[in-house]
Amino acid sequence: MIELRSDNTAGVAPEILAAIQAANSGSALAYGGDDLTAHLHEVVRSVFEHPTARAFPVTSGTAANSLALSASTPPWGAVLCHPSAHIITAEGGATSLFGGGAVMQGVDGDHALIDADRLRATLGSVRWGDPHESQPSVLSLTLPSDHGTVYQPDEIALLAGIAHEHGLRVHVDGARIANAVAALGCSPAEVTWRAGVDVLSLGATKNGALSAEAIVVFDDRIAEELVYRTKRSGHVTSKMRFQSAQVAAYLTDGLWLRLATHANEQMATLAAALESVDGVRLMERVDVNLAFVELSAAAAEALPDAGILCYRMTDSSVRLVTSWQTTAEDVVEATAGFRRAASAS
């Protein structure tokens, strides 16, 4: 079977596993008081070209997002995000839990990307200071979006600028940020703090790590809150050095971008091939390692027998995701599988 359900299903990259093994020597202070966690801060500052950035290793993307947001909004705030954002659709209300009852509010736009005019309109009609209305406090951008599309750096800067004008902070849900940075060919700084981002959920697990993500913070006040918020939510692991070692290895020598580039390239090849398959249609542009495909219900039904594991969105559409583990052979076989399924139905 060709695995295209999610990049979450992939294993741990050899370099990451090696980092875990290397970390397993001697004893070290618990809860982040170790040398490897200290080193992670340095790595993050270097990779993001930011002198005071701080990293908070956590073990899930939901933790990274909801903790980052809870440290950025008052309980009476509203987090603005695209209606398709993971924080609304797939985290069980984590942001409202950690945010003390803060709410999420959708701002729409094509390609699962927030439209600047709509953002302006939304913020322009707020009754600021009126406690009856949840007060927009954070703009959360998903990069890449849950539809696999990316903002350009100047688009992020535009949206962040509008948000800052109104006193909002800017968060990026970067569960697949490596795929976006690789696709954009820009520096990590360009799509984050240089574009106005205050705090980033830096994903690593989908791209080769073992339950390791990090909140990367460019605003000291957010960092100060996270010291407490991470601990009291159970997200300060005692053997943090094993998460820190992973994230540091991941960001070192471009490993994260190599792994992501590989995943992106497999998807680019696959998507190009699918365009020539009758009865199969790409529903969204393919910027990174995700594709959404429309096909007949019968064809969708036939996919498992054609050797393809993927996520069924509706009767007649599926989501495909490649990962750092997807091989060129997988892509060839997946294309053949789609052809069989489409023609069989």
- Residue 32: partners with Cβ closer than 8 Å, 6 or more residues away: 57, 236, 240, 244
Q: In this structure, what DSSP letter does residue 193 have?
A: G
Among 18, 22, 38, 90, indicate the residue that binds a second copy (CB under 8 A).
Answer: 90
> What are the start-end ranges of the H helices in the chain?
14-23, 35-47, 61-70, 86-89, 94-98, 116-124, 153-165, 177-184, 220-232, 241-251, 255-274, 297-302, 328-344
State yes or no: residue 343 binds a second copy (CB under 8 A): no
Residue 127 structure tokens: 């009754």
Q: Per CB under 8 A, which region of 93-101, 107-115, 144-152, 154-162 contacts a second copy?
A: 93-101
Nearest to 75 by CA among 99, 104, 97: 99
Q: Are 65 and 91 in contact (CB under 8 A)?
A: yes
Looking only at residues 173 through 192 of this chain, which bind a second copy when binding is defined by CB under 8 A?
none
Q: Residue 132 or residue 278: which is nearer to a second copy going by CB? A: 132
State yes or no: residue 41 binds a second copy (CB under 8 A): no
State yes or no: residue 201 binds a second copy (CB under 8 A): no
State yes or no: residue 58 binds a second copy (CB under 8 A): yes
State yes or no: residue 327 binds a second copy (CB under 8 A): no
State yes or no: residue 207 binds a second copy (CB under 8 A): no
Looking only at residues 3 through 22 of this chain, which bind a second copy when binding is defined by CB under 8 A?
3, 5-6, 8-12, 17, 20-21
SS3 276: coil
Among 36, 44, 67, 172, indicate the residue that binds a second copy (CB under 8 A).
Answer: 67
| Dist CA 160 CA 143 (whole Å) | 13
**Residue 274: burial class (beta carbons within 10 Å; 0-12, 13-18, 19+):** buried
Q: Residue 238 or residue 343: which is nearer to a second copy going by CB? A: 238
Distance from chain centroid for Cα 150? 11
Among 15, 43, 45, 103, indicate the residue that binds a second copy (CB under 8 A).
Answer: 103
Among 42, 74, 272, 285, indicate the residue that binds a second copy (CB under 8 A).
Answer: 74
Helix 116-124, helix 153-165: angle, nearest 10: 0
State yes or no: residue 329 binds a second copy (CB under 8 A): no
Q: How near is the Cβ of 344 to a second copy at its closest, in Å?
A: 25
**Stretch 225-264: interaction string toward a second copy, x if CB under 8 A:** x-xxxxxxxxxxxxxx-xx---------------------
State yes or no: residue 124 binds a second copy (CB under 8 A): no
Among 22, 38, 42, 100, indicate the residue that binds a second copy (CB under 8 A).
Answer: 100
Q: How near is the Cβ of 339 to a second copy at its closest, in Å?
A: 23
State yes or no: residue 84 binds a second copy (CB under 8 A): no
Owner of token pair 């940075």: 181
**Residue 155: burial class (beta carbons within 10 Å; 0-12, 13-18, 19+):** middle
Q: How near is the Cβ of 192 to a second copy at its closest, in Å?
A: 21
Q: Residue 193 or residue 266: which is nearer to a second copy going by CB? A: 266
Among 133, 165, 220, 305, indicate the residue that binds a second copy (CB under 8 A).
Answer: 133
**Torsion sign over Cα 9, 14, 15, 21:** positive
Q: Residue 11 or residue 161: which is nearer to a second copy going by CB? A: 11
Among 35, 39, 45, 76, indicate the residue that binds a second copy (CB under 8 A).
Answer: 76
Q: How near is the Cβ of 164 to a second copy at its closest, in Å?
A: 20
| Dist CA 275 CA 50 (whole Å) | 42
- The residues facing 174 across adjacent strands are 202
Residues in the interface with a second copy (CB under 8 A) total: 75
Q: How near is the Cβ of 113 to a second copy at its closest, in Å?
A: 21
Residue 294 belongs to what H/E stretch?
strand 290-294
